[in-house]
């Protein structure tokens, strides 16, 4: 949820609700927005286990990293929730834990017009969603993040360095039976890890993030350049000197790329 304008809602000590405006930081905790002019209107509170926040924001059309057109016919909203015990805090900068689930809604704000100072009091959820399309997210986001980190860590910390260490070997290792299958496995894991990472980046609007861009560049280098170098070495092993030069180039590229990724 990078570059998002957030309204964090949690229970307060007085059996009421606390609204904390914050800025989304991606995979890091959101930062409180001390300059936000946000207030709770009548009708806010907790009733029958349901938290309700009727909020008025006076400077929410623009924020650091984003903006919103109040006349747009298609505005994307996202939400996330945490299950468990009530937080019960009157502090608007209270520490919060990672969410358990999320979803979204696409809203037509061109119909959001009223002369009332608090239209929330007459809001009917049964008829008030005619211009809103809801979507429910998956709770597998954290699992996918763990899978991405595990796959990439195994390949770059364990597999690729082991190939480099095995290069100056004192005994013969079959390229066709051992090294080639292991390298193909490592490349397949890298591509799988990148696929999971790209899915996370798309779902969290992080496609232009430096981590995403650098990861794509590294995977492209590994999948295109390294196999060519390895094949070249295998074909030139009978030519004195050339195999050493090409193997050094392939080894150097692998070490640099792996170190950059780590």
Same-domain pairing of 90 and 159: no
User: 163 and 52 in one domain?
Assistant: no
**Distance from chain centroid for Cα 14:** 35
The residue from 92, 116, 138 where one domain ends is: 138
Whole-angstrom CA distances from 44 to 10, 54, 56, 113, 118 are: 12, 5, 11, 21, 11
177 and 123 share one domain: no
DSSP for 171-225 reads: S---IIIIIHHHHHHHHHHHHHHHHHHHHHHHHTT-TTSHHHHHHHHHHHHHHHH
pLDDT-derived band at 140 (thresholds 50, 70, 90) equals: low
> With bands split at pLDDT 50, 70 and 90, how would you rate the model's confidence at 21?
very high
Give me the pLDDT at residue 17, please: 92
104 and 156 belong to one structural domain: no
Q: State whether 69 and 197 are in the same domain.
A: no
**pLDDT tens digits for range 73-110:** 888 888 888 888 889 999 989 999 888 887 888 888 88
Structure tokens, 164? 């480099």
Domain end call among 109, 138, 167: 138
Same domain? 78 vs 102: yes
Percent of the chain scoring above 90 in pLDDT:
11
Q: How many CB atoms lie within 10 A of CB 99?
A: 16
Tell me which residue range forms the domain holding 76: 2-138
pLDDT digits (tens, 9 = 90+) for 170-224: 555 555 666 777 878 888 898 999 999 998 888 776 788 888 898 898 888 877 7
pLDDT at 234 (0 to 100): 54
The pLDDT value given to residue 20: 93
pLDDT of residue 232: 55
Amino acid 254: pLDDT: 54
Q: What is the pLDDT of residue 135?
A: 57
**What is the pLDDT averaged over residues 18-33?**
87
The answer to whether residues 91 and 20 belong to one domain is yes
| DSSP of 239-257 | STTHHHHHHHHHHHHHHHH
Are 128 and 11 in the same domain? yes
Q: What is the pLDDT of residue 192?
A: 93
Higher pLDDT, 141 or 84: 84
99 & 154 share domain: no
Q: Is residue 156 helix, strand or coil?
A: helix
Number of domain units in the chain: 2
Q: How far apart are the C-alpha atoms of 97 and 197, rounded to whole Å?
A: 22
**pLDDT on residue 241:** 47
Sequence-distant (6+) residues with CB within 8 A of 148 are: 193, 196, 197, 200
Q: Does 162 have pLDDT greater than 50?
A: yes
The residue among 110 and 227 whose pLDDT is bigger is 110
Query: Are 81 and 179 in a shared domain?
Result: no
Reported confidence tier of residue 123, pLDDT bands at 50, 70, 90? confident
- Return d(Cα 8, Cα 20) in angstroms, integer: 5
**Same domain, yes or no: 84 and 131:** yes
């Amino acid at each position: 949820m990078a570059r998002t304008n957030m309204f964090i809602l949690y229970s307060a000590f007085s059996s009421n609700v606390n609204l904390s405006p914050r800025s989304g930081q991606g995979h890091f905790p959101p930062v409180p927005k001390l300059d936000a002019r946000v207030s709770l209107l009548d009708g806010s509170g907790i009733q029958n286990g349901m938290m309700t926040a009727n909020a008025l924001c006076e400077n929410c059309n623009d924020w650091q990293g984003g903006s919103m057109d109040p006349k747009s016919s298609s505005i994307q909203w996202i939400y996330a929730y945490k299950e468990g015990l009530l937080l019960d805090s009157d502090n608007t900068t209270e520490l919060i834990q990672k969410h358990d689930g999320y979803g979204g809604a696409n809203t037509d704000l061109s119909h959001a017009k009223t002369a009332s100072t608090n239209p929330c009091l007459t809001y009917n959820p049964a008829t008030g969603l005619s211009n809103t399309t809801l979507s429910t997210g998956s709770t597998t986001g954290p699992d996918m993040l763990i899978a991405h980190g595990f796959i990439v860590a195994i390949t770059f910390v364990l597999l690729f360095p082991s190939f480099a260490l095995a290069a100056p070997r004192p005994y013969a290792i079959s390229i066709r039976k051992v090294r080639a299958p292991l390298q193909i496995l490592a490349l397949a894991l890298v591509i799988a890890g990148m696929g999971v990472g790209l899915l996370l980046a798309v779902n969290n609007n992080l496609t232009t993030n430096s981590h995403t861009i650098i990861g794509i560049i590294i995977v492209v280098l590994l999948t295109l350049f390294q196999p060519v170098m390895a094949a070249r070495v295998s074909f030139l092993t009978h030519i004195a000197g050339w195999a050493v030069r090409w193997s050094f180039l392939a080894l150097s590229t692998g070490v640099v790329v792996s170190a950059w990724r780590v």
